[in-house]
Structure 1
């Protein structure tokens, strides 16, 4: 005959069961609320969507900006292309552009944003991509030291799992407060962020140590894990296969300061040239594409007043680069119309 559990044992089991059920109930209730509120306005629930960007960093704001149907063109990259003003591209090309660049990202994060944008724009008119040193890793996973919310721009299972974190719960509350505020602040809808003032406040352009760093020459050897092979070529081919043939694709090799160019004939120069050649080869699979070359001794690259550091240029050079990008887009679209 089975022995009966002691009363205290049965009471403990009942208590644990009650606690677990309560936790499950609270988790389900929170998840339901979070899905309804959609804290980062991904569009999975539009009941509380107001079509405005709540002030936040570009890592999370890109979920709303990337799905906004108002923008038929997108700029995707990191801080090396972030000073390209979308309104200027719009004025020069007639295509409404959005900036989806996110600082400190590489190809993995950027292609995730491209996928998200294409998911919500079946036939975009133009896409601008930026290929910098982060694209030249020999690791096909393109690891990053900085976190990125892939779950925001992923499928439903990843999204639901992503909501089960403290930061998402905080943002759910923050968004409710923002929605209830009649004088709520809004961020730029097109993603434009002029970060010049941030750099200037840190002493760039004035601090002697930072000026000295700008003039430091790079060595002849490639950076670790940047000597090849370059798997970004295969990844880019895969991504471009999803881009409609009639979409103009401009790939930018952003300028670097002259001192950041490796010595001519060095292994590093050969590796960087080989990486760019692989990217060019991959880009060629798209019928309406071209490159805007900011490397290879760009004529403005020797002016220290145009750079904060060796890879971040200032607004005057950004405006010149914007003009080049716009000319390339107009030329591609004209070619397509012929």
Structure 2
């Protein structure tokens, strides 16, 4: 055999081997189907094994048989679906995502409303991301987001599945079936991501809450008083998405909006320009809620809950017991149509007593 013939044979063997390996890996991914988004994959248990909820929740929405859901950031992730099932009725999934932008929350809620035939309760946990002036341009974070998983074409997903991350998650799923690895999240999206209560200590959380030693947060001096013209000039682009979503919740279903209770150290300084802007944002959300028959509950203000350091692991994330209290408080506010007698929540907009009423925001 001549040298050119030997080289040609080597290249052919290399290409056939590489092609066979790629084909085998692609077949492995398609059969295991770790994100539950391959139209023809064989039936099998596919618990959620990734650490990026953006890839996990589309499959959960399409195949989880849930009629109710929680959307939000990590400040809503401790709301337990099993508790909400009993408080509101229906079958809940928790679809809140770590550090989710308003756009990312909009996309998963949009998929839920397009996919679920008869939604029952839709809870949106609101954070400052809904009030950001650049929410329309800052739609994503450093975490990958797969837009192809959120459209109505399951076949285009196949173009994006052969990569190292998908192979890793597929391997984790195989490990799960071999009894070697637990699921990343529960079948309803719920996870206790904070440490156990017996690990709480002031030495661990002081700097996480205050960024250093504990300090008082006095009101701004002099107090900021925006003019009406200034208020009207403030942009809240994400509220257009919220308006659309709440307006699409069908009659007979209940939308519930809630500003979540971060620690006071994470709130704007009282009487400051950011505080005034946040109050304007709350006012505009209240208009959206009133127009579409949604309940709006506000936990995001200084109270016995948000001012108590022992309720928090850091400035954003409360302990599991506070999550239980939020669940009960939401249900009480919606059912009894009232504020908290102890002042820890405000019902900014009550749902209609005779059922949902919806119309356009003026």
- TM-score of the aligned structures, taking structure 2 as reference length: 0.74
Alpha-carbon distance in structure 2 between the residues aligned to 1:70 and 1:21: 43
| Deviation digits for residues 27-65 of structure 1 (CA, Å, limit 9, x no counterpart) | 455445423321222363451332x52444351432343
Partner-residue secondary structure (3-state), 1:197? coil
State the distance in 2 between where 1:87 and 1:257 align. Answer: 26
Decide whether aligned partners of structure 1 residues 17 and 322 sit closer, same or farther in structure 2, where only a CA change above 3 A counts: same
Instruction: Tell me if 1:217 matches 2:217.
Output: yes
Please tell me whether the aligned partners of residues 210 and 265 of structure 2 are also in contact (alpha carbons under 8 angstroms).
Answer: no
Shift in CA distance, 333/208, structure 1 to aligned 2, threshold 3 Å: closer
* Matching residue of 2:302: 297
Output one character per residue of 1:227-282: Cα deviation in whole Å (capped at 9) or x when no partner: 94110111222333443232211111011223444344321111111222233333
Tell me which of 316, 325, 335 is aligned to 1:320: 325
**The one of 70, 87, 100 aligned to 1:92:** 87
Give the Cα separation in 1 of the matches to 2:187 and 2:155. 28
Match among 144, 151, 163 for residue 165 of structure 1: 163
How far apart are 1:285 and its partner, in Å? 4.3
After superposition, the C-alpha distances for 1:154-173 in whole angstroms (9 at most, x for unaligned) are 44365223213211122233
Paired residues of 1:250 and 1:328 also in contact (CA < 8 A): no
Question: Offset of 1:103 from its aligned partner?
Answer: 1.3
Matched, 1:265 2:284: no
Mapping of residues 155-194 of structure 1, within 5 Å:
155-156=153-154, 159-179=157-177, 181=178, 185-186=182-183, 187-194=185-192
Deviation at 1:219, TM superposition (A): 8.6
Change (3 A) 1:172 1:14: same
CA distance in 1, matches of 2:172, 2:209: 41
- Paired with 1:143 and 1:216, the residues of 2 have a C-alpha distance of 34
Q: Secondary structure at the match of 1:146?
A: coil
Partner secondary structure for residue 249 of structure 2: coil
Q: How many angstroms apart in 2 are the aligned matches of 1:218 and 1:66?
A: 45
User: Contact 2:36/2:59 (CA < 8 Å) preserved in 1?
Assistant: yes
**Whole-angstrom distance in 2 between the partners of 1:174 and 1:160:** 19
Tell me which moved more, 109-118 or 275-284.
Answer: 275-284
The alignment partner of 2:62 has SS state of coil
SS of the residue aligned with 1:336? Answer: coil
Cα pair distance change 1:246/1:142, threshold 3 Å: farther
More moved, 254-263 vs 266-275: 254-263
Which residue number corresponds to residue 224 of structure 1?
Answer: none
Residues 243 and 218 of structure 1, relative CA distance in 2, 3 Å threshold:
farther
- The alpha-carbon distance between structure 1 residues 259 and 169, as it changes in their structure 2 partners (threshold 3 A), is closer
Paired residues of 1:218 and 1:259 also in contact (CA < 8 A): no
Verify: 1:134 aligned to 2:129, yes or no: yes
Q: Supply the distance in 1 between the matched residues of 2:29 and 2:66 (Cα, whole angstroms).
A: 27
Contact 1:43–1:64 (8 Å) recurs in 2: no
Take 2:290 and 2:8, find their aligned partners in 1: how far apart are those partners?
A: 66
C-alpha distance in 2, partners of 1:23/1:243? 50
Cα separation, 2, equivalents of 1:138 and 1:262: 15
| Counterpart selection for 1:336 from 332, 348, 355 | 355
- Which residue of the other structure, out of 42, 53, 67, is the alignment partner of 2:47? 53
Structure 1's 166 and 11: CA in aligned 2 closer, same or farther, altered over 3 A? same
Residues 76-87 of structure 1: pairs in structure 2 closer than 5 A: 76-87=71-82
Cα RMSD after superposing both structures: 3.6
- Structure 1 runs not aligned, ≥5 long: 1-6, 222-226
Paired residues of 2:102 and 2:129 also in contact (CA < 8 A): yes
Going from structure 1 to structure 2, the CA distance change for 1:261 and 1:102 (only over 3 Å counts) comes to closer
The count of corresponding residues between Structure 1 and Structure 2 is: 324
Matched, 1:282 2:288: yes
